Structure 1
Amino acid sequence: MPRLSRFFRIALCILPLAGPAGAEVLSTTNPSILDNLCVGANCAISESFNSNFNQIELKSNNTRLLFDDTSSFGGFPSNDWAIQANDTTSGGEDQLMFVDATTGLEVMTIKALANSSTLVLARDRKVGIGTELPQADLHIVTASPSKIRMHDTFGGSEWMITFANGGFRLQDRGTLNYPFNIADNAPEGALWVKFDGKVGMGTTNPQAPLQINNTDTATNDLQGIIVQNISGLPGPRGLLTMRNSGGSYFTLENTDSGTTWFFTHENRTPNRFIISDAVPDGPEMTLTADGILTVPGGFVVNNTTLNVPDYVFAPEYDLTPLSEVSAFIAENRHLPDVPSAAQIARDGLDMTDMQMRLLKKVEELTLYTLDLEAARRAQQQELARLAQVEAENAALAARLARIEAALAER
């Protein structure tokens, strides 16, 4: 028997056996075809096979190889398949199709003029697109941006993975936006999701639901987290919210100085807002929901723009007469230059401004007091002078009485 690599063996073949002129019958002898075989309406009696060693040729206007499965036993697969070259209608495409002959659907298609190595299945199960030597389970090599496009015809969603433009990008084809991008040369662990769902940015071993490590040595202010609304539309927005079933706090830790500050939402009544350091000497500040602020230490305002009212003591300061102050109070029911209760209820209370206004009133009150003291002293001096005059007058009156008495005796 000839070598199988040189000849093609078939179980059933068409041979010109005995029978009516031109008739063909099925052979039952499991024959082999020597050399080459041409099948199709356009095969010549003496077909000339080219130098590419085409042992089998399908030669016709429409060429199709059908796999007709005649299995009739229950449970056995019986689907029919076909390999078809080119469409069978005018204007159709030049392509090789693998067809599910039972349903008539084209399962896989290879277009004519496809590039070399368009699809390569390597012996180590790697798949190459555009490469003869795939180096991964799926290896794509192109001279233009590599893309994987996914289209959901039911829901209409369409996305595309792009390996170009300096990185790995994910595009929403409906909006043409790129919601996800990883640039080339991104550092190790730029975005990392652990097996337990923890997310790391700048670390491959996040210890919290979200951990951000920054190794940038720059000293500018943009080294943390920026939350910014860029819509350009004015209006208040909640840009940062932290929720917990109970108390919560966040920590500011200076690893250089070893100092730590805690900002705490208290987990018991009255659920105060507390600022404290790591020293166990109690909080440095507390604030209740009723607006009661407690600062155990001092309260210092170091604002160089404060208008400290020392000008009240200048010689040219025009101190308002008390009569005018009295008239103002009678009409307005509050001191001049001091906001009323209605103003404070409407605009709030600026503690620093109020302190300066009260200091001014204290200084003016001091001037009023000094004026009253000067007047009191002057009055005392006048009273003393009048008492002396009265004493001198009494002495003169007594002398006059003695003189009159002496004259009366003569």
Structure 2
Amino acid sequence: MKKIFLSALATFSLLISLAQNIGIGENSPTAAKLQVKGIDSSVVIVENGTNSGTNVRTGLFFKTGPSYAGSISTVGTGYTHRLGFFTYGGSSPSSLLERLSISDAGDVGIGVVTPAAKLDINGVIKISGGFPGAGKLLQSDANGMASWADKSTSFLPAGASGNTLRHNGSSYISTSNLYNNGSAVGIGTASPSYILDINGRMRLRHNGNTSGLWFNGSTNVENSFIGQYTDNLWGIFSGGAWKFAVNATDGTVLMGSSNLDNEVQTNAVGYKLKVFGKIIGEEVRVQLKTAWPDYVFGEKYQRLSIDELEQFVTKNKHLPNIPSAAEVEANGQLLGEMQRKMMEKIEELSLYIIDLKKEIDLLKKKNTL
């Protein structure tokens, strides 16, 4: 055995054994072809003299025969680097592919060279230990330790056959809880009282216009639908036609027409409620904005004489200040305004009767003289 000693600022020891093993800081290198031993943290330093450029790579390469089998390297630009583990054997170092990466921030990526979380995986994960099985769930204890567990009735896993709720693999439930007590499903509530019990708002979406809810009877026939009719209308569909609709833009309400969209855009303009059919009720109240016709009894009110009234009716075939039959047929009538005008005529009629009584009383008095 022979020793070579080099002396500089510090003592450096290199030993080559008879078995051609090399020891650095190790007097008996019997464990490997190269054995390095030191008493500080910097036992081996691999340095790339290039301090400029992008994706500068510094590392150790592993070779079996003519093929490069793997590498542990740093890859980076400037002062930002990541530690990468490379595999995929080939005839040159460039054929190796980075399989696992650790960023400067400590994030680990598998199949991802720029991990965005503490563990960022691109691909499928398989966990073999811990008694896995079909339909089991990976759950955590209070200390963050994960283990396989049989699914319980209070949790709905995604994608398993026969479950109440299934996902397609790209959708997810976030920041909410979903519970199943065996007979009812609760979203946002741990004690659902109905088949589906939702604590909070619910949003329904559809690629077309008609998003909503269908209601089936005991014969499983879709008889009624509540949902969106067009972009601006929502309503109730029943019996093969839309029977009720609300215009989301101006609040217009229509009932009883099978062509609600056309009615909203045409005949219902200017009205908040339009009903195609009859209405029955115990009471209807109309709050008038105009004065009730007690002004008829005022001293300044001018009414026609009996003769003038006769001439007007003979000529126009309707009372003064009352719409004609043709006008009512064409435009309908305003219920409150018509009531006001009718009361005006009733009060005028009362005055006519009072005047006639005075004349009758006067005639009676003359006849008794």
Above 0.5 in TM-score? no
Q: Whose RCO is larger (CA < 8 A, sep 6+)?
A: 2
Q: Please, what TM-score do these two structures have when normalized by structure 2?
A: 0.42
User: Which entry has the higher C-alpha Rg, 1 or 2?
Assistant: 1
